[in-house]
Amino acid sequence: MTALLTAADFHPHEALAAQLLAHATEGDDGSHDLAHIHRVFKNAMKIQAGEGGDAEILAAAVLLHDCVAVEKSSPLRSQASRLAAEKASCILAGFGWSEEKIAAVAHAILTHSFSANIPPETLEAKMLQDADRLDAIGMVGVARCFYIAGRMGSGLYHPADPGAEYRPLDDRSYAIDHFPAKLLKLSEGFQTVTGARLAKERHERLTLFLTLFRDEI
């Protein structure tokens, strides 16, 4: 059996991860599990290496950005990042973090969410948003899209009009509608130069997948 991720997998922030991993996720959503946290962490470290900023604040924000689980189909979805920011603040206060650093982490978590639609104002918040959105595009983004569609009971595509040429997009009913409704738009809104460069590569993979998928159906 493959070992689960541990704090050692979050180099160079192993000590921080050892404190926060137990709080990082809740629920059983495989698209927002510890593997997702780890991928976002690796994305964030790549971006931070190019952009600078406070690595500890960024790492803490990554580790706790999904500490509250809200299903995509829930009416509370737009509140998920606010709830996570509030919970993260309490967790960090318990570890003796200063109010200033807690506020910086909370802001990053609050603004990372696409659903919340709150602009990030700090570099760390911009890097978290970019790192998280990288995990929504490319091949991992494709896999997560269909995984979430399965959880919601959605179909793969509208059989009569898969490209939504004569109907409104409906990504709650059809997984493939989520591409034009959201995923194909994400690369336009990246906040950092490094994040935008990485997003361009993944966006190209996303569009290639959609082209091949439509060809097969």
88, 106 contact by CB (below 8 A): yes
Q: Is the peptide bond before 159 cis (omega within 30 degrees of 0)?
A: no
pLDDT digits (tens, 9 = 90+) for 71-109: 666 666 677 889 999 999 999 999 999 999 999 999 999
| Residue ranges per structural domain of the chain | 1-118, 136-217
Q: Is the pLDDT of residue 3 over 60?
A: no
pLDDT digits (tens, 9 = 90+) for 32-59: 899 999 999 999 999 999 999 999 999 9
Q: Does domain 136-217 have CATH number 3.40.1390.30?
A: no
pLDDT digits (tens, 9 = 90+) for 200-217: 999 999 999 999 999 999
> CA dist 211 to 46, 141, 152, 171, 214, Å?
29, 15, 24, 18, 5
CA angle 148, 153, 154 (to 5 degrees): 80
Q: pLDDT band at residue 2, thresholds of 50, 70 and 90?
A: very low
Residue 113 tokens read as 């969410």
Collapsing DSSP to helix, strand or coil, 106 comes out as: helix
- For the entire predicted model, the pTM comes to 0.93
